[in-house]
Amino acid sequence: MEFPDLGKHCSEKTCKQLDFLPIKCDACKQDFCKDHFTYAGHKCPFAFKKDVQVPVCPLCNVPVPVKRGEIPDVVVGEHIDRDCTSHPGRKKEKIFTYRCSKEGCKKKEMLQLACVQCHGNFCIQHRHPLDHSCRARCSVTRAAESKPSGALNSLSSSWLAQQLRWKVK
């Protein structure tokens, strides 16, 4: 042989192939052939120091920063315990958030049921203006009472017809 010092043997225990263009691992500083130069190819014990990846929390899909030398699984676990916004043990948002504006009623609804006249928010039981003693409806009735009786009859009959249509729906 003309060049006895040319090339190096692969550091993988099962390989030991003579490679004339060996690749040095930047984590463990050993020489490897083309088949074993990757971190996974030679199961590098120091890969976590060089193989920089940003893990993502499986619960809230937020990237979790990992410093060099830290084990990503441990850091993500700490994130879930301390900082995760969708931690299963934390309180969930309240579903029934719209409280009834009727005095003395403590019911809450999922959807907002606002009165067209007074713009108050009411439960299903008090959603109609007559059921919650609507102040806007009272002002219309008071205005009608000050008019002559003919006007009162036409206003009250149209109002009654409207209420009946409302109840039927």
Q: Where are the domains of the chain?
A: 7-49, 52-84, 111-168
31 vs 102: CA distance, rounded Å: 80
The pTM of the full predicted model, rounded to 2 decimals, is: 0.32
| pLDDT tier, 152 (very low <50, low <70, confident <90, very high otherwise) | very low
pLDDT at residue number 150: 47
36 vs 134: CA distance, rounded Å: 81
66 neighbors 55 (Cβ within 8 angstroms): yes
> pLDDT tens for residues 64-106?
988 877 888 899 889 888 888 775 555 556 666 888 988 888 8
Label residue 27 exposed, middle or buried (CB < 10 Å: 0-12, 13-18, 19+).
Answer: middle
Q: Is the pLDDT of residue 55 over 60?
A: yes
Q: What percent of the chain has pLDDT over 90?
A: 5
pLDDT at residue number 142: 46
- Please give the average per-residue pLDDT across 130-147, as a whole number: 60
Hey, which CATH number is domain 7-49, 1.10.30.50, 3.40.50.2000, 1.10.645.10, 4.10.1110.10?
A: 4.10.1110.10
24 neighbors 47 (Cβ within 8 angstroms): no
Label residue 17 exposed, middle or buried (CB < 10 Å: 0-12, 13-18, 19+).
Answer: middle
Residue 44: CB atoms within 10 Å: 21
> pLDDT tens for residues 74-85?
998 898 888 887
48 neighbors 71 (Cβ within 8 angstroms): yes
Instruction: Tell me the pLDDT of the chain averaged across its residues.
Output: 77
Tokens 């890969």 appear where? 47
Position 126: which residue type? Answer: H
